[in-house]
C-alpha cells in the first residue's frame, strides 16, 4: 500500500475544566487546530481531500462536529468530514482512518485529529416519554457518555482500581509517578519543548483579550498535598485526583499526505506512519489493552520493542503507564518524556491525536527514529500507532 506521511501536527493548549478555553465548543477548538496545521504546511485548503476528527461528547454541539470544525477552519463545503467516536482513542482512530484512505489511493491530503470540550457537556433529562408525577433526575452527560463503564455500571476509575490491584500498584508508587509526570511537563514547558506543537489562542474577555499559550493544569499541583488526598473512586482505593488525569478542553490536528502529494505540494514530512493496530479485552481490563495493541504492531513489523526510542502512552491514570511498562518490560524513561495526561490533561476525544502530535515533536527534538503512541479506551479497547522520524540523524560513534 501507499506510504503515508505526517506533514504537520498541532494542538491547542489543554484547558482546565471550566477554565480559559471553556467558552469554545469542541468544533471551534478543532477548527483552531486545523487552521494552525494548514498555516504551518502552507497547503491550499482546496487540496484537502477529507477530514476525520475524533469527538466523544457530542450532545448539544450540533450536527457532525467534524464537519463544523472543517468549515470553521475554512475548508470548502465540497470537502467531506467524518466524526469518529472510539472513546479516548477517537483522535488516534480518526488518524488511522485518514491514513487508510491514503494507503488505498483514495485520497492524498487528509486532515485528522480530535477535539473535546468537557466543560460544555450538558446534563440530560429523560422526558421523551413524559412524566405524570414525581421528581425527574438529571444525568451528567460527561459521565454517562464518556466516563462510565456500562458493563459493570461503575466509573472508569473503578475499573482502573481493579487493574491497579491486579498489578500490585501501591498508592505511593502511583503518587510518585504522578509527581514525575508533572515534573517532566513543567520541565518541558520551561524548556519550550511544547512551542513547536502548541498554538496560541486569543480568548475574548470583557476587558481585552486573554492569550492562552500553555496547558493550564501543569502548574496547579500542590505536591505536599498529594499523599493526603482521599481516594477518588473506591473506598480504600489507590487512585486520587492527583494520580489520575483531569477533565479538560482541547484539540489536536494532523495533516497526512501521500508521497505524490508531498512532491506535488513541495511539502517536508516530519514522520512516516509505519504500522497501527487496535486491540480489546474484558472491559474492566482496559488499562492494559495498549500492551495488546503494541504487541500486534511488533508482530506486524517484526520489530523489537528495543527498536523504539520513545513511547507516548496516555495517562488516563498513573496505573496505565506503570501496568503497561510492567507487561512490556520497556524502559520507563522512554515513556512520556514531556509528561502525560496526569499533568497535561485528558480531553478525551482529542487525546489520541494529542499524543501522536507530541510524539512527532519528541522524535524531532530528541532525535529519535521510531516512536509508538498508544491509548486505552472504555469498553476494554486500545489503539496504537508506530511512526518513524523522517529527519532522524544517526548518531556517529
Cite the active site residues: 88, 346, 376
Between helices 156-166 and 318-328, what is the axis angle to 10°?
40
**CA dihedral over 228, 233, 234, 237, signed as positive or negative:** negative
The C-alpha angle 76, 54, 266, rounded to 5 degrees, equals: 50
Can you tell me the distance from the alpha carbon of 177 to that of 353, in angstroms, rounded to the nearest whole number?
23
Can you tell me which residue has the cell 468530514?
81
DSSP 225: G
Can you tell me the distance from the alpha carbon of 275 to that of 298, in angstroms, rounded to the nearest whole number?
9
* Neighbouring C-beta atoms of residue 345, cutoff 10 Å: 29
Q: Is there a contact between 393 and 367 (Cβ–Cβ < 8 Å)? A: yes
* Neighbouring C-beta atoms of residue 356, cutoff 10 Å: 29
Can you tell me the distance from the alpha carbon of 102 to that of 200, in angstroms, rounded to the nearest whole number?
30
Q: Is there a contact between 346 and 174 (Cβ–Cβ < 8 Å)? A: no
Strand partners, 386: 275, 372
Q: Provide the residue count of the chain.
A: 397
CA distances from 70 to 53, 64, 350, 357, 383 (A): 9, 10, 15, 19, 24
Amino acid at each position: 500500500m501507499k506510504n503515508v506521511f505526517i506533514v504537520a501536527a498541532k494542538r491547542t493548549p489543554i484547558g482546565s475544566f471550566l477554565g480559559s478555553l471553556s467558552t469554545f465548543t469542541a468544533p471551534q477548538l478543532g477548527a483552531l487546530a486545523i487552521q494552525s496545521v494548514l498555516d504551518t504546511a502552507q497547503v491550499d485548503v482546496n487540496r484537502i481531500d477529507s477530514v476525520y476528527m475524533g469527538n466523544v461528547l457530542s450532545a448539544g454541539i450540533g450536527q457532525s462536529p467534524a464537519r463544523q470544525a472543517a468549515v470553521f477552519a475554512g475548508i470548502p463545503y465540497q470537502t467531506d468530514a467524518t466524526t469518529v467516536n472510539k472513546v479516548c482513542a477517537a483522535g488516534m482512530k480518526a488518524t488511522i482512518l485518514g491514513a487508510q484512505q491514503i494507503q488505498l489511493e483514495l485520497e492524498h491530503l487528509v486532515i485528522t485529529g480530535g477535539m473535546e470540550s468537557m466543560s460544555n457537556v450538558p446534563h440530560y433529562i429523560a422526558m421523551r416519554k413524559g412524566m405524570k408525577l414525581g421528581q425527574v433526575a438529571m444525568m451528567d452527560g460527561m459521565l454517562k457518555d464518556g466516563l462510565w463503564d456500562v458493563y459493570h455500571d461503575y466509573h472508569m476509575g473503578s475499573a482502573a482500581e481493579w487493574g491497579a490491584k491486579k498489578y500490585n500498584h501501591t498508592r505511593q508508587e502511583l503518587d510518585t509517578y504522578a509527581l514525575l509526570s508533572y515534573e517532566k511537563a513543567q520541565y518541558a514547558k520551561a524548556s519550550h519543548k511544547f512551542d513547536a506543537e502548541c498554538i496560541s489562542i486569543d480568548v475574548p474577555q470583557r476587558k481585552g483579550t486573554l492569550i492562552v499559550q500553555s496547558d493550564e493544569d501543569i502548574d496547579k499541583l500542590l505536591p505536599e498535598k498529594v499523599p493526603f488526598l482521599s481516594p477518588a473512586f473506591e473506598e480504600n482505593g489507590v487512585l486520587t485526583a492527583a494520580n489520575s488525569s483531569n477533565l479538560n478542553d482541547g484539540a489536536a490536528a494532523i495533516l497526512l499526505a501521500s508521497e505524490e502529494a508531498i512532491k506535488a505540494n513541495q511539502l517536508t514530512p516530519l514522520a512516516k506512519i509505519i504500522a497501527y493496530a487496535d486491540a480489546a479485552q474484558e472491559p474492566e481490563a482496559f488499562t492494559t489493552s495498549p500492551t495488546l495493541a503494541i504487541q500486534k504492531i511488533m508482530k506486524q513489523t517484526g520489530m523489537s520493542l528495543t527498536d523504539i526510542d520513545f513511547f507516548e502512552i496516555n495517562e488516563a491514570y498513573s496505573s496505565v503507564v506503570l501496568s503497561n511498562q510492567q507487561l512490556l518490560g520497556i524502559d520507563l524513561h522512554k515513556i512520556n518524556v514531556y509528561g502525560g495526561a496526569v499533568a497535561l490533561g485528558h480531553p478525551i476525544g482529542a487525546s489520541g491525536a494529542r499524543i501522536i502530535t507530541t510524539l512527532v515533536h519528541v522524535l524531532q527534538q530528541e532525535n529519535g527514529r521510531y516512536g509508538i503512541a498508544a491509548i486505552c479506551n472504555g469498553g476494554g479497547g486500545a489503539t496504537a500507532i508506530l511512526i518513524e522520524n523522517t529527519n532522524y540523524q544517526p548518531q556517529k560513534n
